Each structure stands twice: as structure tokens, then as C-alpha cells.
Amino acid sequence: MSTPTTATTPSATGAAPAAARRTARRRPQIRELGVLLAVVVLIAATWLHNPGFLSHQGVRDLFLGATVLAVLAVGQALVLITKNVDLSVGSVMGLSAFGTGLLFVTFPGLPVPVVMAAGVLIGLVCGLANGLLVTAVQVPALVVTLGTLYAYRGLNHWWAGGGQVNAHDMPESFLALGRIPVLGVPLPAAIAVAVVVVVGLYLAHFRSGRELYAIGSNADAARLSGIPAGRRVITAFAVNGALAGLAGVLFAARYGTVDSTVGTGMELQVVAAAVVGGVAIAGGVGTVYGAALGAVLLTTITAALPIWQIDQFWQQAVVGALILAAIGLDRLLALRTARKLRGGGARGA
Amino acid sequence: MTDPLRPRYLALVAAAAAVLMTAACGGGTTIDDADESGGSGPTGTADPDAEIPEGLKIDFLPKQLNNPYSDIVNAGGAEAVDELAGEYTERGGTEPTADSQVEYINAASQAASDVIVIAANDPDAVCPALNEARDNGAAIVGYDSNANCTDVFVNQSSDELIGRALVEMISAQLDGEGTFAVLSATPNATNQNTWIAAMEEILQEDEYTGLELVDTVYGNDDDLESFQEMQGLMQSYPDLDGVVSPTTVGIAAAARYVSDSEYKGEVAITGLGTPNQMREFVHDGTVEEFALWNPRELGYLAGYTGAALKAGQITGAEGETFTAGELGEYTVGEDGEVVLGPPTVFNEDNIDDFDF
């Protein structure tokens, strides 16, 4: 009840002290600016090291490379904000990617948008199942989604039976999605930007969006104040699933080869992206803008490492160190803001 | 990673699948109850004119079932056994582990198989069971991946032949002049590293002085990572003329990246890949040609080798010869190795004749 984030809910902030509100509002901004700064510094340094990094093709690669992870991170942020977590996103994305590919193989004449919608639908169903399990069984989401991580992957493996969908099986118009420019940005990246903006606006300005923060901050209090917590959590999981489905479709379009292992291990990258972007694993804090920026940072790191010619043996260690550094920095900032908040009169944090 | 065709996480996925679907696919076995029939076993001296008896029981034990690659290999094996009027059996579990394979070796041995053709999941762990099967009269042939106790190993190709094919392809596509990089699997993948070493040696020859290998990068046999490494290569070496990827995952990722980028037509992509994965990129002009041994022929040759061994035409000693059906005559090489031959080269003209 005394957490600062619920206090910032626009519809409920009328009574909150103006000073505390300003400080609390600045906090997420600082988090996001820090990540943005890191992205800019990394890109600038890599560009100075090798101008080819920002060639026309290089910029396109950066955009397309960040698309899948950014879409996943937005969905994950939704779930994390409600103090849940979805570890099954990698498997859901794999199912959707394989389903998309298989639809093209089975019904070669199907229009591309229909197949894409089917991919999203697969994700939506998986996400809905996650949400129902979490709310109905009242088991921590960590455990439920760890179970569905394996269940969905097993399903995918059984479905694929060791098979593979190759670029040849997909229509040219689907594989060329990345070549369609929307305001100078490749279409898949434009879709990702649209997802970020829409979900961002929803979380900031819609009552049900703000309620997700309330649930994540204090589920009991939220329930007592009449928020349908269960329904909101199910919705968050369902939307996250649909976005994982979308990510699977975009993956298939980008990489052209799909087997039953697509997205394996992705869940950890997604959670890392969201956390680096300032979405607290403890719930109630963060924005999807931050999560998307976190995804951009992580994919930029992976894209930049080969240019710096860092030995492959070190690559994962470097990524890990950078994640720790980002989280450490973030924590430092959070502590400082918390101190300021206390000084400003508002308790909690 | 000894087999470039096996996705990196297949073991993990198989494990997950097995946990969740024990009932559905936990026991993908084909253990036949077969009547007892005495086998003669490999004899001490080879008799090249020995007749291959009908009704030989030839068992194929791939690394695991349900793997598209080994399905094709074994289809070739079944064809050979069929031609020899033998009895073909495939045995294996859904997980590529030595433990599960031992059970199937024992099952083959108990069914009094005449020939066991095995792609070993571990070079040593399967040996006690294989030795027991040999005492029971079975001839033991390794294929795809050898164990240390087989009588003969049918190798898909030799390191030298593969290295040479890779160099020849890139040389032909660059007209003998230019820079290229290698996109490999994992930094410690034995197969890829030996092939790259063979390539480096062949590049020393006078014919190839115009070619320069500028860098070797590793995509860890992961679609995404290979894709990113390919991207990094093009940014690090904007004037790069070609990329050789001796791994199926790498070449497909490299081709996909180039087909969707400004570099299409500027950079040559070649290496080892499967026709199905590469079809799109050969047809759209990204890839001129690439190679791979023919998996069907590998299984076919393994089937004939096993029969020749059991019949006593060969014993596994160097220099012995036998005829493998439509593939013609083969000679046993050093360390009991039979080499299928140089890899098959696929291009616009022949790629649609293959489906694997």
C-alpha cells in the first residue's frame, strides 16, 4: 500500500505529495536513460572501431536483430510487472515458429497474413494456458512456466519429429518481409516499435494497465481495492503468449530455417533484457520502453562482439559480465533514488 | 559435436520430450524375436570370392531414431540389405546416449544378428557390448561415428577429401583469386577443426596461392549465432569475397543472411550443407554450389560392407577389396577404414534430384 509505484498511478495520485511524485516519476526515466546511454556508447564506440557497423546494411541488421528479443521483452515485462514470470516464452516462440513454417508446407496457397495470425494465435493459446494454470492452481508462475517450458518444447519436438522447415518451403513474400521499408525501418522492426508504443501507452494511461502495477506491488491490497487480479494476470500471460507467437513468426521470416529447437534458452535472454531495462523481477516496477531498450542493448552487444573480434571462447563471459554490470548499475541507481525518496518524505521503496 | 547435422540442443529437447511423453515415445524400439541361427563370424583370412549368403540378419543402430539424417542413411542401408536378400532391422532409442545404445546392442546380439552396423554414441562405452556380440558371431561395422572396437569403419569421406572439396569449390567460385573466411561450428568441434586444418594445408599448394583465408569464426552450430557471426564477418571485412562453412547449420545461416542483404551476389557462400536446407539459396542465386556426402550411399555402403565382412570377403585388413552393389569396388584402407569417396557437389543442375 505504501509502495511508490502505486502512488504514481495517475488515476490515484491526486492525494500524493507532488514532490514525491516527481522523484518517483524520474526513477524509471533514469533507468531507461542509463540503458539508452549504454546502447549509444556501445554503438558509437563500435562504429569508431569499424565504420562498417553503421553502414546501410549494418543499421538494417541492428534493427532486424533486435526485433525478436524486443517483442519478447515487452511481453515479459507485462508479466514481470504483475510479479509473475514466464519462463516458457522460448518454447512458445519455438512452437509458433514451427507452426508457421508447417502451415506454409501443408497449405502452400495460404496468404501470408493468415499464417502470421495463426502463429500469433498459437502463442496466445499457450499464454492463456500459462495464465489459467498460474491463477487457477495458485502455484508460483516460476514453477508453472518451468513446467510448460518443457511441455511446450516436448510438444514441439513430437510435432516436428526431427523434421525441419527450410527457406525453400516458405513463400518469397514471407521471407522478404525484412526488405519492406516502413518509414525507413524494415517492416519487422516497425512492428516491434508499434508493439512497444501500444503496450507502453496502455500501461501508462489505461486503468487496467495501471492495475497491473498495483497487482505487482501488492496483490492482496489490489484485490481488496476491487481489482480483478486473476483476470488481469491471465490477460498479461495471454498477451505475453501472443507476443511470443509474433516473435516466432518474425523469427521464421528472418532466419528461414525452423526446427524444433528454435528459441531454446531464449527465456533467460528475455528476462535478462527486461531486468537490464529496469523491470524489477520483484514486480510493480518498470516500463516496456525500458525492456525494449534492454533487448536492444543485449542484441547490440552480440552484434558488436564479432566486430571487436573478441574470441568466441570469451563471448558468453563478456555478455554475462555486461549483464551483471548493467544490473549492478541499475541497482545502484535504484538505491540512490530510494534514499532520495525517503528524504522527500514518502516512505517505502 | 561430431556430426554436423545434429542440432545442438537435440539432446536437451529429446530429454524434455522423453520426460513428458514417456508413454508416447519412450521406447522407440524394434526388437524382433528372431529364431536362433548359427553364424560363422569373421574368419582369420579373407576370401574375396566368398559368396554372400541369403537371409543375413543385418541390424542398423543409428545414434538415435527420429533423426532425419540417420533416417536417410538407414534407408540406404535397408536398400542394400534388400538387394542382398537379407533381413533388415533398425534398433535405437530416442536419445543419443551410449547407455541406451548398449541395450540395443544386447538385443541385437540376443536376436543372433549376423551384422551390427552402428553409429556409436561413445567410442568406448559401447565396446563391451559389441565385443560380446562379436563373440556371439556378429560382424561389427561402424558408420557415421566410429567406436574403438569395430571390425571396419565406413567413413563418409576422408578429412583430406573434404578439405580438398571445400578448397576447390571456393577457388572455382572466386576464380582462384580473393579473400575468404571460414564460418565453423564450435571452436572445439573435432570434425570441423580437422577439415579446416586440411584446407589450410591444401591452400599451400601452388594452385591456390591466390586465395587467402583471413579469419575463422564460430557460430556454435546455432542458427542465431551463426547468423550474427556472418553479419559480423561482413562488417569486419567489407571486401570479403567468400565464406566457407563446413557445417550445415552455418552454411544455411550464412546463405540466409546474404540472400536477404546487400551482399547478395557480392560474396560467395559454399561449404557443407543439405540440399533441402540450401535449395532456396541455390535457386535464388545466393549459392552457386556446395557439397555433402550422400547419406543414402553411406548407409548403402555400410550394408554391403557388413555383408562382405560376415561372408568373409574381407576381414578388415588393409588392401582387401569387395564390391558394394551399384557403388562398385571398394578397398579397405588403413585402420580398417572404408571411405565412401569425395563428397557430392550440389548445384542448380542437380539439387532437385535430392531430398534430404
Tens of pLDDT, residues A19-60: 555 554 555 566 788 889 889 998 999 999 988 888 888 888
The CA distance from A147 to A127, in Å, is 13
List of chain B residues whose C-beta atoms are within 8 Å of the C-beta of residue A255: 223-224, 227, 253, 256
Q: Which member of B9, B217, B220 has the closest CB to residue A264?
A: B9
Interface test with chain B among A157, A172, A302, by most B beta carbons within 10 Å? A157
pLDDT surpassing 60 at residue A81 = yes
* Beta partners for residue B345, in sequence order: B291
Between chains, do B13 and A257 touch, taking CB under 8 Å as contact? no
Provide the 10 A C-beta neighbour count for residue B151: 24
B197 touches chain A (CB under 8 A): no
pLDDT surpassing 90 at residue A148 = yes
pLDDT surpassing 60 at residue A241 = yes
Between chains, do A65 and B10 touch, taking CB under 8 Å as contact? no
pLDDT the model gives residue A326:
67
Mean pLDDT taken over chain A? 85
pLDDT surpassing 60 at residue B19 = no
Q: What percent of chain B has pLDDT over 70?
A: 87
Between chains, do B256 and A302 touch, taking CB under 8 Å as contact? no
C-alpha cell at A117: 495470425
The CA distance from B299 to B279, in Å, is 23
3-state helix, strand, coil split of chain B in percent (to 5) is: 40, 20, 40
Could you say which residues from 135 to 164 on chain B have a Cβ atom under 8 Å away from some Cβ of chain A?
A: none
The CA distance from A331 to B214, in Å, is 43
The CA distance from B208 to B201, in Å, is 11
The CA distance from B71 to A100, in Å, is 24
ipTM of predicted assembly, 2 dp: 0.77
Q: What is the pLDDT of residues A178-226, one digit of tens each?
A: 888 888 889 999 999 999 999 999 999 999 999 999 999 999 999 999 9
The CA distance from B125 to B100, in Å, is 11
Strands (E), B47-92: 57-61, 87-90
List of chain A residues whose C-beta atoms are within 8 Å of the C-beta of residue B228: 65, 302-303, 306
* Beta partners for residue B292, in sequence order: B344
List of chain B residues whose C-beta atoms are within 8 Å of the C-beta of residue A60: 261
C-alpha cell at B250: 552455418
Q: Which residue bears the cell 551399384?
A: B326
pLDDT surpassing 50 at residue A169 = yes
List of chain B residues whose C-beta atoms are within 8 Å of the C-beta of residue A53: 235
How confident is the model over A103-110, as a mean pLDDT? 91
How confident is the model over A157-177, as a mean pLDDT? 87
Reference A72, options A320, A279, A291, A275; nearest CA is A291
Could you say which residues from 14 to 53 on chain B have a Cβ atom under 8 Å away from some Cβ of chain A?
A: 14, 16-17, 19-21, 24-25
Q: Which member of A57, A261, A313 has the closest CB to residue B7?
A: A261
Lowest mean pLDDT among A96-105, A267-276, A322-331, B40-49: B40-49
Select the more confidently predicted residue: B279 or B66: B279
Between chains, do A162 and B281 touch, taking CB under 8 Å as contact? no
pLDDT the model gives residue B44:
67
How confident is the model over B46-73, as a mean pLDDT? 84
Lowest mean pLDDT among A114-128, B72-86, B212-226: B212-226
User: Taking CA atoms, what residue in A is nearest to B95?
Assistant: A162
How confident is the model over A70-93, as a mean pLDDT? 96
What residues contact residue A257 under an 8 Å CB cut-off, 6+ apart? A164, A165, A166, A167, B223, B252, B253, B256, B277
DSSP string, B132-185: HHHHTT-EEEEESS--TT-SEEEESS-HHHHHHHHHHHHHHHTTT-EEEEEEES
Between chains, do B280 and A262 touch, taking CB under 8 Å as contact? no
pLDDT surpassing 80 at residue B273 = yes
List of chain B residues whose C-beta atoms are within 8 Å of the C-beta of residue A50: 235-236
List of chain B residues whose C-beta atoms are within 8 Å of the C-beta of residue A65: 228, 231
Helix B10-20 vs helix A141-160: angle between axes, to the nearest 10 degrees?
110
